[in-house]
């Protein structure tokens, strides 16, 4: 029992078949995955192996075809769309390759918008304070009034992280959060995500980049919709970054990456 309580997200025999294609395409083929509270898990695999689909189905952005997804013991597959939206808004955070910000709002207002939606009116002031503190912490407070085309890619992605954290999620999902960034900005964003993880947030991230993946506690490998292997890496440190990445690369090569 004690072990179960440490699992925050659990999926059992998850499948996803897209029926919009002819014939239907089964993209996720019976995935079992347990993610422990506070764990940082990376999903890797070739392009088209189903990483984004897995992330969307695990986070309730899309509906799995069969199987179970539990967050904190609650079966998400049993929820109505409305209940699921509420769970996403209040317990999950999302960071994508593109930030999906509204062009007509400032950086700060983009971050505030979902944060304000997630809380009752009486908690609005504290939500605003939380957003301002997050922006300070991730070094973007000074560009809060800028339009979203007036900041760098790294700043924008750190703004996405602030937006994702503003609702104090128990779990943060990230799909190639550094996919559109140069290497300096990638490091900026990965440092931010590493901090988020160290402060106790569970993180599930998809990436193609072994240097980013090496930050995780555990890497799982998806091939053709099935989880075929996983690697425990343990806690990340700057000093061990290079040997960790080498070790991870050697493992990835055995998988044909
Ligand atoms: N809505 C959809 N309808 C039909 N097929 C889809 C749909 N979405 C994804 N697929 C197919 O599912 C497979 C997996 O796609 P997915 O986007 O999950 O891959 P991925 O591992 O994230 O790839 P990448 O690394 O390129 O982002 C692909 O073959 C894709 O064409
Ligand atoms: Mg993808």
pTM, two decimal places: 0.95
- Residues with C-beta atoms within 5 A of ion ligand 2: 52
φ, ψ dihedrals at 249, nearest 5°: -60, -40
Distance CA 108, CA 113 (A): 9
Q: Which token pair is 101?
A: 């910000």
Q: Cα torsion for 206, 87, 193, 33, to the nearest 10°?
A: -40
Question: Rounded to the nearest whole angstrom, what is the distance from the C-alpha of residue 99 to the centroid of ligand 1?
Answer: 19
Question: Rounded to the nearest whole angstrom, what is the distance from the C-alpha of residue 14 to the centroid of ligand 1?
Answer: 16
The helix or strand, by DSSP H or E, that contains position 107, with its residue range, turns out to be: helix 107-118
Among all bound ligands, the one having the nearest atom to the CA of 224 is 1
Nearest CA to ligand 1 atom 6: 18
Pocket test for ligand 1, best of 17, 21, 23, 51 (most atoms within 8 A of CB): 51
| Residue 176 Cα: closest atom of ligand 1 | 27
What pLDDT does 42 receive? 98
Distance CA 108, CA 130 (A): 12
Q: Please list the pLDDT of the chain residue by residue as tens digits (257 residues).
A: 344 448 899 999 999 999 999 999 999 999 999 999 999 999 999 999 999 999 999 999 999 999 999 999 999 999 999 999 999 999 999 999 888 999 999 999 999 998 998 889 999 999 999 999 999 999 999 999 999 999 999 999 999 999 999 988 999 999 999 999 999 999 999 999 999 999 999 999 999 999 999 999 999 999 999 999 999 998 999 999 999 999 999 999 999 99
Return the residue matching tokens 């944060």.
115
Question: Rounded to the nearest whole angstrom, what is the distance from the C-alpha of residue 51 to the centroid of ligand 2?
Answer: 5
Q: Give strand pairing partners of 95.
A: 174
Query: Which of 176, 163, 253, 174 has the alpha carbon at shortest distance from 209?
Result: 176
Distance CA 175, CA 56 (A): 9
Contact (Cβ atoms closer than 8 angstroms) between residue 228 and residue 222? yes
Q: Give the domains, in start order, of the chain with CATH numbers.
A: 2-254 (3.40.50.300)
Q: Which token pair is 76?
A: 């998400």
Question: Rounded to the nearest whole angstrom, what is the distance from the C-alpha of residue 50 to the centroid of ligand 2?
Answer: 7
Question: Rounded to the nearest whole angstrom, what is the distance from the C-alpha of residue 226 to the centroid of ligand 1?
Answer: 13
Nearest CA to ligand 1 atom 29: 48
Nearest CA to ligand 1 atom 5: 18
Contact (Cβ atoms closer than 8 angstroms) between residue 35 and residue 41? yes
Which residues have any ligand 1 atom within 6 Å of their CB? 18, 20-21, 25, 27, 45, 47-53
């Amino acid at each position: 029992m004690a072990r179960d309580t440490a699992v925050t997200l659990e999926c059992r025999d998850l499948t996803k078949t897209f029926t919009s294609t002819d014939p239907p395409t089964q993209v996720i083929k019976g995935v079992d995955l347990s993610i422990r509270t506070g764990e940082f898990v990376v999903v890797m695999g070739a392009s088209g192996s189903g990483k984004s689909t897995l992330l969307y189905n695990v986070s309730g952005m899309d509906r799995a075809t069969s199987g179970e997804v539990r967050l904190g013991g609650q079966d998400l597959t049993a929820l109505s769309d409305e209940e699921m939206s509420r769970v996403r808004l209040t317990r999950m955070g999302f960071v994508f390759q593109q930030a999906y910000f509204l062009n007509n709002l400032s950086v700060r207002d983009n971050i505030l918008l979902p944060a304000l939606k997630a809380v009752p009116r009486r908690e609005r002031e504290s939500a605003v304070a939380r957003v301002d503190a997050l922006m300070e912490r991730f070094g973007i407070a000074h560009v809060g009034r800028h339009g979203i085309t007036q900041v760098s890619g790294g700043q924008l992605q750190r703004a996405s992280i602030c937006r994702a954290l503003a609702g104090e999620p128990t779990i943060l999902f990230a799909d190639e959060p550094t996919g559109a960034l140069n290497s300096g900005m990638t490091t900026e964003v990965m440092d931010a995500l590493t901090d988020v993880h160290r402060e106790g947030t569970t993180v599930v991230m998809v990436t193609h980049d072994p240097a980013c993946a090496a930050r995780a506690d555990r890497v799982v490998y998806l091939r053709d919709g099935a989880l075929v292997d996983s690697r425990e890496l343990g806690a990340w440190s700057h000093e061990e970054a290079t040997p960790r990445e080498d070790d991870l690369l050697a493992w990835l090569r055995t998988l044909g990456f």
